[in-house]
Structure 1
């Protein structure tokens, strides 16, 4: 029984579909105005048991209700995938608005905290389970114009390690995945641009991805397969691990060519 946050699109959607294909019951969690119900419907069409629960992960009341709804529908909780995330403004720190900083931290760090807090009692009651946090290579390095995002993902990586320490004796494994350049539109940022700006943004991203060892962006499904592996018993002796899925981009200096 798996809860996936931010599952209406991108890596979250791919993870939910991969978990369903592996035989899991899936709770698709995302904001009400997203395509979360579409993801759940796709899972059901493929023969999986799935429901959509609208949830803002930065809201404690909504997160608590999400976990309660999961337990009431399926009787237990085995896996939490903390995937929901936003990127924030592309500016330097002195230009970041405090409200934007708080919003990024609210979704990217407070969200996983709240989800873990309210999921852990159910995981312990089930005799163990797994949490997989979707962090980022930007939590491992400094990246341009991304102060809030880098800070939030760096915090999530060390929260992963800390939870692994506290809950290992309860049979709960906690690991993190750090994607690199993935062909997604986080938060619908590109979709809000005009066609010329959108094409330019995609071209810049592809050019940056081309400079890493594997020379391309990944598809969301390539990350989802790693998430599902970490959540499964195939990874039974892994906890506190931080796994990069980044085409090698954090292995070398990103030389400009």
Structure 2
């Protein structure tokens, strides 16, 4: 399938590792011009514009959008786990707030500044990385689940709000992905998981499809990538 992404200007937040890095590589392979916003320093061997900054800092987001020039696509990959395996009653206010700021407020700021920069684009699109944790909950993940659930609703609200500007907004919601963050969260248990695990490149392919002009009819959706997990009934049949 021809995605028609060659020459398009793309901004990726959180592009230094994991899903973000795979997304950057995938867009470059399609011939897109890529700008990255990340707190980490960029590699020297990638032909991208690199802006060091925090996605929760509005000035950094504004700088990255300006560096990208007239935009076609913005992809929000920046995210943190926050407190994992911690009961809700033990989570500090600061930890909860920081998790929401990075995972949800950061996505809002990206869309807020990217959308006006897409005015001249023939096919403007925004794609967020959410999670299946926006639909289902696991113990000890209150802050993360709340933030990712917020991204799902933010996607829908922005799709409505930006409809007049012709900017499509969608999100992908993967289950466990083999990333440095996931491995740090789960430790040695990661390699013994009894469930299938995504590769970052798998998620990147879905992001590219939702960002591409070929998906013009898709707007305001949350694409679950969970190997059918949410579809399974708990009925003992």
Which TM-score applies when normalising by structure 1? 0.83
Structure with greater helix percent = 1
What does 1:34-49 correspond to in 2, within 5 Å?
Answer: 34=40, 36-38=41-43, 41-44=44-47
- Alpha-carbon separation, structure 2, partners of 1:236 and 1:176: 14
2:144 to 149, 153, 161: 149
For 2:42, what is the secondary structure of its paired residue? helix
1:113-170 Cα distance to aligned partner (Å, 9 max, x none): 1111111110124355000010000001122211111110111100100111111222
List per-residue Cα deviations over 1:186-245 (Å, max 9, x = no partner).
28735xxxxxx832x3145x22x2xxxxxx211100000000000001101100011011
* Structure 2 residue 7 is the aligned partner of structure 1 residue 7: no
Secondary structure of the 1:37 match is coil
State the match for 1:248 in structure 2: 228
> Alignment length, in residue pairs?
227
How much is the aligned-residue C-alpha RMSD, in angstroms?
Answer: 2.0
Do the aligned residues in 1 keep the contact of 2:177 with 2:197 (CA within 8 Å)?
Answer: yes
Q: What is aligned with 2:4?
A: none
- Out of 63, 66, 79, the residue aligned to residue 64 of structure 2 is 66
1:135 aligned residue (130, 133, 138): 130
Find runs of 4+ consecutive structure 1 residues off by over 2 angstroms: 41-44, 124-128, 187-190
Alpha-carbon shift at residue 37 of structure 1 (Å): 1.3
Distance 1:231 1:42, change over 3 A: farther
Structure 1: 5+ residue runs without aligned partners?
Answer: 45-49, 191-196, 210-215
Out of 21, 24, 37, the residue aligned to residue 16 of structure 1 is 24
